[in-house]
Amino acid sequence: MGSIVMTGGGTGGHLAIVRAVKEALDESPVYIGSTGGQDRQWFGEDAGFVARYFLETRGVVNQGLAGKVRSLGLLGKAVLRARRLLREHQATVVFSVGGYSAAPAAVAAILSGIPLVIHEQNAVSGSLNRLLRPFAKAFLSSYDENSPVKAYPVKSIFFEKARVRHAPRTILFLGGSQGAVAINNLALELAPALKARNISILHQAGERNIDAVRRAYEAMGIEAEVFGFSDRIPELMERADFAVARAGASTLWELAANGLPTLFVPYPYAAGDHQYHNALFLAARNLAWVLREEELEGGKVLDLMKQDLSIPSRGLIDFTPRSGAEEIAKLLKTLAV
C-alpha cells in the first residue's frame, strides 16, 4: 500500500500546517524535512508519522555565490535521497508546505511523476512555491480565490476554544518563540496604563529576552505572565480578549479561528513583506488592525482596545472556516488513489 508524504518546514508556520493536516488524515504519513530549522524539534519524536527523515539542506536565497553553490550541491544530493525514499515508501502523493526543507521531496515528486500538492501559507508566495507551482497538481492558498481549498488548516483546538470577546480584561503579546523587540517595547510602554485599567498581561517575550523583560515588569511593580516558547498557545489565546502579534500566517489564522481581536505588527524584514500582506487580508475586511513598527504608539493601541471588540471577534469566528485541514486531507486521499 502506498504512502502520503508530507514535506517542508524550517519554521513553525510551515510545520503547523503539516501537523494540522497530518492529524486530519486517517492514516500515518511519511515526513521528509531538513536537518536545519525546527523540523526535528517539531517532529523528531512524533509517532504520528510512519517514518521521519531529515535531509541536509539549507536555503539558497540571500547567499553569496559560494553559498549558493554549496546549497545547490546539498540540494542535488538530497533530491537523489528523496527519490529513493519516495520509491521505498511507494509514495502516491507529496504534500509540500514550502520552505527550503520542502525542495528535495517536492522536486523528487516532479521527477518521479508523483502528484505534488503545494500549500502556500502566505499572501505573497515563497520563492520555492513560485518556482514549482506550474508543476503542481494543486496549489492551495487561503488568499487565492481560485484555490481548490481556501480554508486555512488550523488545529481544531483553536476553534474549540473560540469565544466572543467584549471588554478587554487580558491582553496577549505574541512575539513568537524568538521574541520581537518592537512588541516587547510596546508591552512595557503600555504596562502602567494596562495596570491602571486592571488589564492582565500575558507576554511571549522570546527565550532570549525572558529575564530582561521580567525584570522590567518587576521594576515597575507590575505582575505579568512572561514566557518564551510555549505549547499552551491555545489556552493562552482563550484567556485573552485582545492580542498584539506578528503576522506569520499560522499565528494569524489561529488567532482568527479563536475569534481573538488582534493588532498585527508585521516583521519588517519578511520576504516579500508577506506578513504585512497577510495582516492586510484581515484588516481590509475590518477583522483586525495592522500597524508598521514605526507607527506603534501606546495611545493608538489603547484607543483600539476601547472599541466594541465583539464586532471583530464575531466577524473572525464567522469568517474563518474550520474545515481547512479536513479538506486538504480529503484532497490528498483523492489524489493518492
What are 289's three cell numbers? 488592525
> What does the alpha-carbon distance between residue 57 and residue 288 come to, in Å, rounded to a whole number?
37
- For residues 28 and 48, the answer to whether their CB atoms sit within 8 Å is yes
> What does the alpha-carbon distance between residue 247 and residue 224 come to, in Å, rounded to a whole number?
23
Question: 3-153+323-335, what's its fold?
Answer: Rossmann fold (3.40.50)
pLDDT reported for residue 37: 85
pLDDT reported for residue 9: 86
Q: What is the signed CA dihedral for 165, 171, 177, 180, rounded to 10 degrees?
A: 120
DSSP assigned state of 74: H
Q: What is the mean pLDDT of residues 144-157?
A: 94
Q: What is the mean pLDDT of residues 246-271?
A: 96
* Residue ranges per structural domain of the chain: 3-153+323-335, 157-319
Lowest mean pLDDT among 7-11, 85-89, 161-165, 262-266: 7-11
Element (H, E) at 187: helix 181-196
178: Cβ–Cβ under 8 A, 6 or more apart, which residues? Answer: 206, 207, 208
Question: 157-319, what's its fold?
Answer: Rossmann fold (3.40.50)
Write the pLDDT tens digit of every residue in 281-317. Answer: 999 999 999 999 999 999 999 999 999 999 999 999 9
pLDDT reported for residue 327: 97
pLDDT reported for residue 35: 92
Model-wide pTM > 0.95 = no
Q: What is the mean pLDDT of residues 82-95?
A: 98
Of these ranges, 65-69, 72-76, 119-123, the one predicted with the greatest mean pLDDT is: 119-123
Q: Sheet containing 242-245: which strands, arranged edge to edge? A: 225-227, 200-204, 170-174, 242-245, 262-264, 289-290
Going through 200-318 in order, the beta strands assigned E by DSSP cover: 200-204, 225-227, 242-245, 262-264, 289-290
